[in-house]
Amino acid sequence: MAEVRFSEKLQTFLRDSSIPLSFADASRPDCPLIEVNPAFEALTGYSRDDVIGRNCRFLQADLDNEIARDDIRSAIANGTDVQVILRNRQADGTPFENLLFMYHLKVSRSRSLFMGSQFRLDAKDAAGLIDRAQSRAVLLDEGIGRVFAETARLRTENRRRLAQSVGGVVRAHLNAGA
């Protein structure tokens, strides 16, 4: 199968982006990574050469992410976008919470890529997201719990919009063949 060729303009955009980005080829068995940018390398501690050809699940190592994995498998099978939180490990073994946005990119009739936009969640983000999820079943405590939950929600929404913008730029370049 022919390699996907990113235009020089798109390669420059990816290289200069401060958002960790990865591209996986859904048309190949096990959906291997075909490209990552320097921000991805900085986030994970893995070099491009370490990850190309591997499925991104290696970042999860021994961590439990079964629900998120099911959501990702479903998105790949259905060619849809997905947003999940995963526990990943950096190259040095340090675990981190990864807010992942995956976007389906149709390259040709028989070729699909998935672009991942990764964001490290800090402790406040993770706590706020957990609080927000729990608030569906029980009311949050008064005061600081609501502030953290709203702050985390706004950060997540801003990251989602940023990831969608990057996805739009990449889609436009791939569709135009620029």
Cα–Cα distance measured from residue 128 to residue 122, given in angstroms and rounded to the nearest whole number: 10
Domain ranges of the chain: 8-120+166-176
Provide the β-strand partners of residue 132: none
Cα–Cα distance measured from residue 125 to residue 156, given in angstroms and rounded to the nearest whole number: 8
pTM for this prediction:
0.73
Cα–Cα distance measured from residue 175 to residue 147, given in angstroms and rounded to the nearest whole number: 42
CA 122 from centroid of its chain's CA atoms: 16
Would you say 105 and 115 are in contact if contact means Cβ atoms under 8 Å apart?
A: yes
CATH class of 8-120+166-176: alpha beta
Quick one: average pLDDT of 13-37?
91
Q: Is the confidence at residue 7, as pLDDT, over 90? A: no
Residue-wise pLDDT for 67-121, tens only, equals: 889 999 999 999 998 888 888 999 999 998 888 899 888 877 878 889 898 988 8
Which pLDDT score is estimated for 10?
81
Which pLDDT score is estimated for 54?
96
Q: Is the confidence at residue 48, as pLDDT, over 80? A: yes
Quick one: average pLDDT of 145-159?
59
pLDDT category at 159 given cuts 50, 70, 90 is confident
